[in-house]
């Protein structure tokens, strides 16, 4: 009986120490789930917005490779900057989504001790064809998020 009580006391005393590791793992899993959910919702916003815009020609864009949290944060930072251009006011919800994604990816990187550079600085420039710029930006974001969701396992590496 004394052995049983001793084992019970030890297991109760050790329980908080054992719980801290899974809690961090659960936090990382929850953050990854949140990031992928925002990316999926953003794609829904893009598809809905495309139904209200004039039909644009098929635009081919090269999507950067997704290597890990560092490249994802960097790419989302550039997309966020492009979405803050005056020509893309119509994309304010998508800009908010991308900005939120970038912040969550940056936070996840800090949690797992990845060193991410400062967010890229946006450049404001004039575009002679604002409708084309809007369509191009929307296509870039859509293609990147689709590729990102196919490579969401890269959220676990720096």
Q: Is position 70 within any domain?
A: yes
Contact in structure between 110 and 32 (CB atoms under 8 Å):
no
Range of the domain at 81: 28-156
pTM: 0.77
Give the domain CATH number at 74.
1.20.1250
Mean pLDDT value across the chain: 80
Pull the structure tokens for residue 64: 């950067």
Instruction: Give the chain's domain count.
Output: 1
The pairs formed by 42-46 with CB atoms below 8 angstroms and a separation of 24 or more are 42/94, 42/97, 42/98, 42/101, 42/141, 42/145, 43/142, 43/145, 43/146, 43/149, 45/93, 45/94, 45/97, 46/94, 46/138, 46/141, 46/142, 46/145
- Residue position matching structure tokens 């676990």: 156
Is residue 26's pLDDT more than 90?
A: no
Instruction: Specify if 7 maps to a domain.
Output: no
Decide if 14 is inside a domain: no
- For residue 12, name the pLDDT band (cuts at 50, 70, 90): very low
- Give domain status of residue 122, yes or no: yes
Residue 19 has pLDDT above 80, yes or no: no
């Amino acid at each position: 009986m004394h052995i049983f009580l001793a084992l019970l006391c030890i297991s109760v005393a050790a329980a908080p120490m054992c719980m801290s590791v899974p809690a961090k793992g659960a936090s990382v899993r929850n953050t990854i789930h949140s990031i992928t959910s925002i990316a999926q919702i953003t794609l829904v916003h893009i598809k809905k917005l495309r139904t209200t815009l004039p039909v644009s020609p098929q635009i081919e864009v090269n999507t950067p490779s997704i290597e890990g949290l560092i490249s994802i944060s960097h790419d989302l930072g550039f997309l966020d900057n492009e979405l803050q251009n005056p020509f893309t006011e119509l994309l304010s919800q998508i800009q908010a989504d991308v900005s939120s994604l970038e912040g969550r990816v940056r936070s996840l990187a800090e949690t797992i001790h990845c060193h991410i550079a400062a967010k890229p600085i946006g450049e404001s420039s004039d575009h002679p064809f604002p409708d084309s710029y809007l369509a191009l930006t929307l296509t870039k974001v859509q293609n990147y998020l689709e590729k990102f969701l196919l490579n969401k396992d890269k959220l676990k590496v720096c």
